[in-house]
Amino acid sequence: MTADRHRVVVLALDGVIPFELGIPQRIFGRARTAAGDPLYEVLTCGVRGPGPVMTDADFAILVEHGPQALASADTVIVPASYELGPVYEEGRLTPELSAALAHVRPGTRMVSICTGSWVLAAAGLLDGRPATTHWADAEAFQRMFPAVRVDADVLFVDDGDVLTSAGVAAGIDLCLHLVRRDHGAAVANDVARRTVVPPHRDGGQAQYVHRPVPEPGLASTTAARAWALARLHEPIQLRDMAEQESMSVRTFTRRFREEVGVSPGQWLTGQRVERARHLLETSDLGIDQVARESGFGTAQSMRQHLQAALGVTPTAYRRTFHRSAERGGGGHLLGR
C-alpha cells in the first residue's frame, strides 16, 4: 500500500450478507487515477481474528485480518448481518464487538450498509444525527434508538464523517457517492460504468416500499423526465412536465413522487447539480456559462445550490476536480 492511498476496512460479522459484504471491494477496488493507479486499498476483517466468518448463505468466508486492522482504517464499513443478537434485541454491542470497534481511531469515517446501521447506533455514533436503514426495519430501528433522526425515504444519508445507507443495493449508491465525494464525478462514473450500474439513482427508497398496485392504465412519468433532461438549460415549469404525460399538475406531482421518491422540483434541482458538476469537471466554460447550461440561470443561483448539495462553491469544486487538476492517491473530501 502506498502511504497516501485511502484504506477502507470492512468489518465482517457473523451472519453477514455476502452481497453487501462484496460491495466495498467492487466499488472502491475499481476506483483508479487517470494513470490507472488504485485510489483505495480495501481490507476485510473479523471481530475475533483471521479465520472463518459465517454468512447468511450456505458458506463461510475466510478473512485474513483481525479487528486490529480497524486501527489502520481511514474508512470503516459495516455491512448488514442477521445475527447481531443483543444489537437487534437490546440495542447494545456485545463485548466482542465493542472491543473490536475500540480499535477505530477518532476521526475515522464510519459507514453502514443496510442494517449495519444498527451497529453504528448501538455504538452511540448516530445519536442526534440523521441516518437511514432498510425501509422494512426503519420503525423498529427508530423505536430501539430514539436519539437517532431516522429518514426511511432516502437511499443514503451523508452526515460528514458518518454515513448510512438504505437496504441492500443502496450500499452501491452510497459507495459510489463516497468515490464521487473523494475524487469527483468522472472517477465515480467510470466505476459505475465498469460495474454496469447507474452512477446516480433518482429518488429514494420510498419508491421501493410495497404499496397497493396502481390502477391499470395509469401512465408513468418516464417521458416527462426524459423530456426535462433534454432541456435542463431551459426554464422548466411543473405544468410543462405534467403536459408531457397529459396529466393535471396535481396528479403528475403525486405520481412522480410515488415513482421517484422526491418531488419534481427536488429531482430537477438534483439533475441540474449533476449537470453543473459534469461541466465544471470536464469543460473550460466560465462559471456564468456553466450556470446557464445547467439551468440555474445565474452563477449566484448555482453557487447556492452547489453549496447546499456539496458544501463547496463552483470555483472550489472545479479547482479540486477539473480534468486538468493533479489528483493524488488520497483525493479530497467534500463535507456537507
Cα(19)–Cα(116) distance, rounded to whole angstroms?
13
| β-pair type (6-11, 109-112) | unpaired
How many separate helices (H) and strands (E) can be counted in the chain?
14, 10
- DSSP notation for 170-218: HHHHHHHHHHHHHH-HHHHHHHHHHHTS-SS--S-GGGGS--PPPPTT-
- Please tell me the chain's helix, strand, coil percentages from 3-state DSSP, rounded to the nearest 5: 45, 15, 40
Nearest Cα to Cα of residue 44 among 53, 36, 31:
53
The neighbouring-strand residues paired with 110 are: 76, 162
Find where cell 439551468 sits.
295
> Under 8 Å CB-to-CB from 240, ≥6 apart: which residues?
none
Catalytic residue among 80, 84, 114, 290: 114
To the query of whether residue 114 is one of the catalytic residues in this protein, the response is yes
- Contact, 12 vs 76, CB < 8 A? no
Residue 304 CA, distance from chain mean position: 22
Nearest Cα to Cα of residue 302 among 331, 323, 273, 334:
273
Find where cell 459495516 sits.
78
Active site positions, annotated = 114
